[in-house]
Amino acid sequence: MKIIVVGGVAGGATAIARLRRLDENAEILLLERGKYVSFANCGLPYYIGGAIEERDSLFVTTKESIEDKYNIEIRTENEVLSIDKENKRVRIIDYTSGREYEEDYDKLLLSTGSSPFIPDVEGINERNIFKLWTVPDVDAIYNFIEKEKPKKAVVIGGGFIGLETAENLYEKGLEVTLVEMSDQVMPPLDKDMAKILENHLENKGVKLLLGEGFDGTENKGKTIKLKSGKKLESDITILSIGVRPNSGIAKSAGLELNERGGIKVDKFQKTSDENIYAVGDVIEVKDFILGTNTMIPLAGPANKQGRAVASNILEKREETYKATMGTSVAKVFDMTVATVGSNEKSLIKKGYKYKKDYYISLVHPMSHAGYYPGALPMTIKLIFGRDGEILGAQIVGYDGVDKRIDIIATTIYFKGNVYDLSDLELAYAPPYSSAKDPVNFAGYVATNILEGLTEPITLQELKEDKSKYTVLDVREEIEQVSGMMDEAISMPLTEIRNRIGELDKNKEYAIYCAVGIRGYIAERILKQRGFSAHNILGGYRTYLDIEGSSDYSDLSTEQDKFESSENKDDNNKEIKLLNVCGLSCPGPIVQVSEAINKLSPGEIIEVVATDPGFARDIKSWANNTGNTLLESSANKGKFSAKIQKGKRVEKEEKNPTNIKEKTMIIFDGDLDKAIASFIIATGAAAMGNKVNMFFTFWGLSILRKENAPKVKKDFMSKMFSMMLPKSSRKLGLSKMNFFGMGSKMIRKVMKDKGVSSLEELILNAQRAGVKMTACQMSMDVMGLSKEELIEGVEVGGVATMLSDNDNSNMNLFI
């Protein structure tokens, strides 16, 4: 039997080895259009960053080694041009000589994989624009960096390869901007889980531009154009927009394909032609959980398909490839992200309804026992059906993430459910896990939901119907100093039984604590006393991840400064050390508070924590308690802070004439006043000023996004937002508006005179670093949400505005 295998990476390489082990006499020919076979394409980004130091390490094996070990003929740089099904013949081109020739086969295996999508836009072929898919690709990028010494990099695409590339370019010392067309990174994640990664990326120094489409380049690839009109400077740009199956020869041969171009195969990997098989990225597979047809390009499934198909080709025994569940994992700086099965957004797209067809368990456990050093947090989102069947899971954390996703994937494979997750007996010792493993914990929450012990709500549910719920914060007061949800009532869990008389049984309560455990206890207390109560999934940590500021600009991302110090301050005073690693909120803040109380004014304490909320909480806590945060840093999942008891005494008073900060309150929504505001703002920024623009009431119309997404609103909010201008392009003049004619006339005059339009002024202001803040209270009153505002706008309250005012030497009210 003569077998021709087309494609020598992953599935193809595995297939030829299995074919030879099963049949010593078969004639096996491998055709690979590239120069290399069986290379580690998943490791390519890490070679760029230096984590993989030797180029040879990228090769799993070599052409010569495979030929010698398996007695197989391999022809690299030979590509199949066409397939003649009737005569069982392929036409091939040898790129080394340019010769075209034919080969007959008895069985043909297609393992042609996929290729990165390259958009047809201006400037796509410039010498500093690259894709990252093959060894020649990585060689070109590596050599360009070594020779040209680029400073700024842009990565287009926020999937697995895009994030890994961004990380490794950053590790190489480049300033990195990541551009993603959707409103989140990492498509397999839901938006709430992706936000954790986004915060981490920004913390590390990667600039994110979400909801931005790539529209080509100019200036010899040095300027990247985005569909919004924004432009970025770039010395090197990597395209990671997505992949497409290499099914061209299959299509030309008349093999059956799906609508995305994937080759359709049966459970034996046989195509619509009985003598042709296919494996890997190029084929359509079954979704293991839902049973629907899909395409999941992953190396693991490709190798399993390659192993199974060998036996079927040789007709030794039937081996079936059941389905793909999409188990995947990736490293993103200090964090690990992993997924399996369906995410929530894909279920919604398929028509599933939350609390009707599926439920969510969301927990924040530690990687191992908190009392053992090095415990780090993770977030597990488990999605399950009405009967407890596991539909999917997502995990983001610092340590132990891969282990937990594999446990859940194995449970899914053997048709286990959330009750099984609760019952699993998993290895336990303090350095490795807890007596209740994080997977057990996710299962406990899920079973509590199915058994009706808890009726949790998501932050999205709370946001969509705020008027329905009265929000209770059951954390301790020391925790609440760092911040609370809007309109929340303080009622610590330790006081709730004694204060039960303050609550109204006619109201519906939404309860939260730090991560959800105390919120659940409070929910059970209230339910058993006749109250309607719901625990908010994920607690305050999830709220901060999704709604809170992702600004970690005060955090150093260098190797921990404090470890290299001699634990002395500037006056040679000893610095007290406090290690709260492994403690979850409220532990770190409580410990800091107790330690600070024992210090004398002016003394300094250094704190090291692993709770990610600590990095955000400590700044607010210090400000609100009259203490001073001197320094903070983050390194490999650990957060450090130096805190001085009391307020820092400045050596000399600030000279008001040296202050270069301007604050503008934009109350009006007229076109002419908006233009004037942004001309002043950009001018002040150009003169080296920090500029703050606070938009309130009618001024919010300036920030409204064109073609904003639909947001669920109550009747009054709908009425208000309908009556407001839909975007900056719909603003009228304060005088001589003439039913809108005036604004059109002034825009034309500005264009004729070469004056930037309002929209261009807004973009220029953003590029100049002008901070734009929308008033939360005004947004609530006017029926607007953050999703309806242009990208880059922060949301804040009067405290934000007053703080900016206090720091400014000029304040304008427009």
Q: Is 42 a catalytic residue?
A: yes
Distance (Å, whole) CA 501 – CA 505: 10
Taking the alpha carbons at both ends of the chain, their separation in whole angstroms is 83
Give the number of other CB atoms < 10 A from CB of residue 429: 11
Taking each helix axis from N to C end, the angle separating 438-450 and 401-413, rounded to the nearest 10 degrees, works out to 50
Q: Which amino acid is at 591?
A: Q
Identify the active-site residue in 42, 513, 581, 585: 42
* Signed CA dihedral, 549, 553, 554, 557: sign only: positive
- Residue in this structure with the two tokens 């610590």, named with its chain if needed: 492
List b or e across 694-720, with b for residues whose CB sees 16 or more CB atoms inside 10 angstroms. bbbbbbbbbbbbeebeebebeeebeee
Distance (Å, whole) CA 804 – CA 770: 13
- Among 636, 638, 573, 566, smallest CA distance to 604 is for 573
Say if CB 93 and CB 81 are below 8 A apart. Answer: yes
- Residue in this structure with the two tokens 């048709």, named with its chain if needed: 415
Displacement of CA 164 from its chain's centroid (Å): 12
Task: Give percent helix, percent strand, percent coil of the chain, each to the nearest 5.
Answer: 35, 25, 40
The DSSP letter of residue 461 is H
Per DSSP, the residues of 505-573 read: TTSEEEEE-SSSHHHHHHHHHHHTTT-EEEEBTTHHHHHHHHTS----TTEE-SS-HHHHS-SB-TT-P
Say if CB 409 and CB 347 are below 8 A apart. Answer: no
Taking each helix axis from N to C end, the angle separating 11-22 and 63-70, rounded to the nearest 10 degrees, works out to 20
Say if CB 811 and CB 694 are below 8 A apart. Answer: no
* Signed CA dihedral, 458, 464, 466, 469: sign only: negative
Distance (Å, whole) CA 272 – CA 280: 16
* Signed CA dihedral, 186, 795, 665, 689: sign only: negative
- Per-residue CA distances from 544 to 485, 486, 791 (Å): 9, 12, 19
Say if CB 790 and CB 811 are below 8 A apart. Answer: no
Distance (Å, whole) CA 347 – CA 338: 18
Give the number of other CB atoms < 10 A from CB of residue 601: 11
> Which residues have C-beta within 8 Å of that of residue 72, sequence separation ≥ 6?
16, 20, 28, 29, 30, 66
Distance (Å, whole) CA 750 – CA 754: 6
Each as own residue / partner, the long-range contacts of residues 56-65 (CB below 8 Å, 24 or more positions apart, any chain) are 58/135, 58/138, 60/13, 61/13, 61/37, 62/37, 62/38, 63/36, 63/37
Tokens representing residue 463 in the block: 């946001």
- Among 776, 792, 706, smallest CA distance to 463 is for 776
Q: Which amino acid is at 254?
A: G
Distance (Å, whole) CA 807 – CA 656: 9
Active site residues: 42
